[in-house]
Chain A
């Protein structure tokens, strides 16, 4: 699967549905921190430039507040697109994630089990 297909599969978004209304960018609390703005995310997917999106500042500036997902009139969900770009990056790096045998060393009494599990899920896919 190429990157574009991968991002479409992970996010479940059809980028062609976007009509460039900009409601996502108007809603985004991190807009000023981002180099690629939310309404532009789909353009990068359409133009087959997932690499640039995954390596943008935006990928790590998105707060996952879901305002764009909630308000998008076309069901395009830029938040999911950028989340998928992050996922691609994480999967690519692979070795940067946690592996099960590293965990015991990191454990201490105070760490909630739930945090551990969610961190494991997030970084080890």
Chain B
């Protein structure tokens, strides 16, 4: 019989206000095997842990139950406390009477009754807990960063500077990401390329960083400290070692009609291309869907003009397999598709554009060489209307329910830049709310209004109607004046909602990282562990976790890097001892468990078994505890009931069921 101590936490008033903690203590003392029970305002505090330590010694406890917050919060705290005081940490169970009880129930009698039942279930389980020893596994001292935008680059640089090897996998031909498409950045208006390209160069030349562009993650297996990742290096048709980046091939290429993705499809590019002038690596790729040689076998002009013989039409995709200790997801974002927003005439008129398209138009390397002009007729617009919250804050199925966070600021930036460069152009911004929390952010927005004369009107636009004369009639409203507004504009810019990159769901599935309904990756704790995924060894950097601007992205990238460094600095990791184990007397070697094991942790060996005096060689399942992650799939599959999961054994779970249904 175990000697069990029950510790009931008040959590200040979080628990004690709705659960009668004294009653829980009283009921605990009536449970079989409970030799000690007490309550305390903050069990997790230093003083609370001292009381636990004293109780363990005084009552020679061989098991303990803490009735407190979720085990996801403080299980580790109490297990460590037990271990320090000579009690095996796996003889500690938590009854979650805060998140699962006091916080959701209002009636004290009801909540107390439930807390007592949860306590009983935990006590029943502890009776059957076995002392377990955590094993150890080695850590591969190399990190993988998925995505080569500013988030990925910053994370990789920080990890590399600490002395660890990092690989960046980027699906586009160059690193740089969304930030490389921007013209200027708020709130300082410095040129995006001027601050990004030095970082790109630094990453490319860093001895600890390997960059795989035009590559995608294909498969991930393993676990924290020991991931094995297959990376598909897509055929570039250009030899990276030979190419000097002279650019002649791009000039000579006769297939020039492909939409230029980097310029958001506003102009065209050649079939062999580098996305932008400062691309890293400065090695072009051949777009196989547009290349005449690859499609028809006739052409080969780029090969003819390449002086170093770098063109290789025979190249194929290559899969490389690498080992990593940690993986950082930095997959970034894209703007949402606007085909459901017919009222804004995007796609109907060339002069209705998204903000990201405006960014390219304003950029000297963009489709109009940096001149602000209408894409329909090339004329300079005299009247520009900006519409905010297009697709953001929508609870219908057309848009996104969240605020995209960056639009208020970049719209102020665009308005200001236009008023600065083209003072005779009028700028009107239709807004619902202007949200500018951040250092120097509100000042920036006020400058747009006060110093640059940008006309801010509170009210969403209902419709943009293209007119026969080529202008756009904007149907808006001024809610503060309670007036409807009909405004003729030459150009309309839509502050389009952002959404996580389309590939992120696939990557999250490969990593078994949680993802929410908006495709943002879930953090391990929304406040206290914002850069870690609940999946150990997977970290989050940038917009893949939630909308954020560049300063926040860089801050989060650094934070993710620190977490990775903290992991890679360890030589060994403690492994979870809650692994499966086969009872050799009951196992009949049928192999069903191995079929369902997702980790290949189960193998078979022939062993001499003494079954009640009968000694014979039997085929027995053996679990490799370093590979087993403790899911328990095998335990249910086993037809003879030989397979059981330590820490969550059949008997333990049934004891919990019985205690609840008692």
Interface residues of A (CB under 8 A from B): 17, 19-28, 31-32, 37, 39, 67, 70-75
A72 in contact with B475 (CB, 8 Å): no
Residues of B within 8 A of A70 (CB): 343
Q: Are A71 and B459 in contact (CB under 8 A)?
A: no
Interface residues of B in 389-446 (CB under 8 A from A): 389, 393-396, 398-399, 432
Question: For the complex, what is the distance from the CA of A75 to the CA of B459, rounded to whole Å?
Answer: 17
CB neighbours of B485 from chain A (8 A):
26
B-side interface size class: 20 to 34
With A22-B460, A25-B479 known to touch, is A73 a contact of B399 (CB < 8 Å)? yes
Q: Give the one of B432, B458, B463, B477 with max A CB within 10 A.
A: B477
Chain B contacts of A71 at CB under 8 A?
343, 462-463
User: Knowing A19-B432, A22-B477 touch, does A75 contact B395 (C-beta < 8 A)?
Assistant: yes
Q: Are B395 and A73 in contact (CB under 8 A)?
A: yes
Is B393 within 8 A of A26, CB to CB? no
Chain B: CB-nearest residue to A39:
B479
Q: Could you mark each residue 481-503 of chain B with 1 if its beta carbon is under 8 Å from any beta carbon of chain A, else 0? A: 01011000000000000000000
Which positions 359-407 of chain B face chain A at CB distance < 8 Å? 389, 393-396, 398-399
Partner of B460, one of A17, A23, A67: A23
Known: A25-B462, A26-B460, A67-B463. 18 other contacts (CB 8 A): A21-B432, A22-B459, A22-B477, A22-B479, A23-B460, A23-B477, A25-B459, A25-B479, A26-B484, A26-B485, A31-B477, A31-B484, A67-B462, A73-B398, A73-B399, A73-B460, A74-B394, A74-B396
Closest to B480 in A: A22
Q: Which residues of A contact B399 (CB under 8 A)?
A: 73
B461 at the interface (CB under 8 A from A): yes
For residue B476, CB closer than 8 A to chain A, the reply is yes
- Complex Cα distance A26/B387, Å? 12
22 A-B residue pairs with Cβ-Cβ distance under 8 Å, sorted by A, are: A17-B395, A19-B393, A20-B479, A21-B393, A22-B459, A22-B460, A23-B461, A25-B477, A25-B479, A25-B484, A26-B461, A26-B462, A26-B463, A28-B484, A32-B484, A37-B482, A70-B343, A73-B393, A73-B395, A73-B460, A74-B394, A75-B395
Q: Which residue of B lies closest to A37 (CB)?
A: B482
**Nearest chain B residue, comparing its CB with the CB of A23:** B460
Q: Give every chain A residue within 8 A of B462 (Cβ-Cβ).
A: 23-28, 67, 71
- Tell me which residues across on chain A come within 8 A of B395, comparing CB atoms: 17, 73-75
Residues of A near B458 (CB, < 8 A) are 22
Chain A residues within an 8 Å CB radius of B432: 19-22
Given contacts A20-B479, A26-B484, A27-B475, contact A75 B396 (CB under 8 A): yes
**A73 CB to nearest B CB, Å:** 4
- Nearest Cβ on chain A to B659's Cβ, whole angstroms: 42
**A-B pairs with lowest CB-CB distance, top 6:** A27-B462, A26-B462, A22-B459, A23-B460, A26-B477, A73-B394
Residues of B within 8 A of A74 (CB): 393-396
Q: Across the A-B interface, how many residue pairs have beta carbons closer than 8 Å?
A: 69
CA distance A27 to B343 in the complex (A): 10
B463 touches A27 (CB 8 A): yes
Q: How far is the CB of B361 from chain A (nearest CB, A)?
A: 26
Q: Which residues of chain A are near B476, meaning CB under 8 Å?
A: 26
Q: How far is the CA of A86 from the CA of B393 in the complex (A)?
A: 30
> Complex: how many Å from CA A43 to CA B164?
59
Which of A23, A31, A32, A67 has the most chain B CB atoms closer than 10 A to its own CB? A23
Please report the C-alpha to C-alpha distance between residue A72 and residue B395 in the assembled complex, in whole angstroms. Answer: 9
CB-nearest residue of chain B to A70: B343
The CA of A35 and the CA of B616, in the complex, are separated in Å by 95
Residue numbers in A under 8 Å from B398 (CB-CB): 73
**Chain B hits for A73, CB < 8 A:** 389, 393-396, 398-399, 460
Least distance between B346 CB and chain A CB atoms (Å)? 14
> In the complex the two chains form, what is the Cα distance from A82 to B581 in whole Å?
67
Give A16 to B336 CA distance when docked, in angstroms.
Answer: 27
Q: Which residue of A lies closest to B459 (CB)?
A: A22
Q: In whole angstroms, how far apart are the Cα atoms of A39 and B396 in the complex?
A: 17
Let me know if B460 and A21 touch, CB within 8 A. yes
Q: B247 CB to closest chain A CB, in angstroms?
A: 46
Q: How far is the CB of B267 from chain A (nearest CB, A)?
A: 32
| Complex alpha-carbon distance, A71 and B393, angstroms | 13
Bound Cα distance from A17 to B393, whole angstroms: 11
Assembly CA distance A71 to B485 (angstroms): 17
Residues of A within 8 A of B477 (CB): 22-23, 25-26, 31, 39
CA distance A67 to B477 in the complex (A): 14
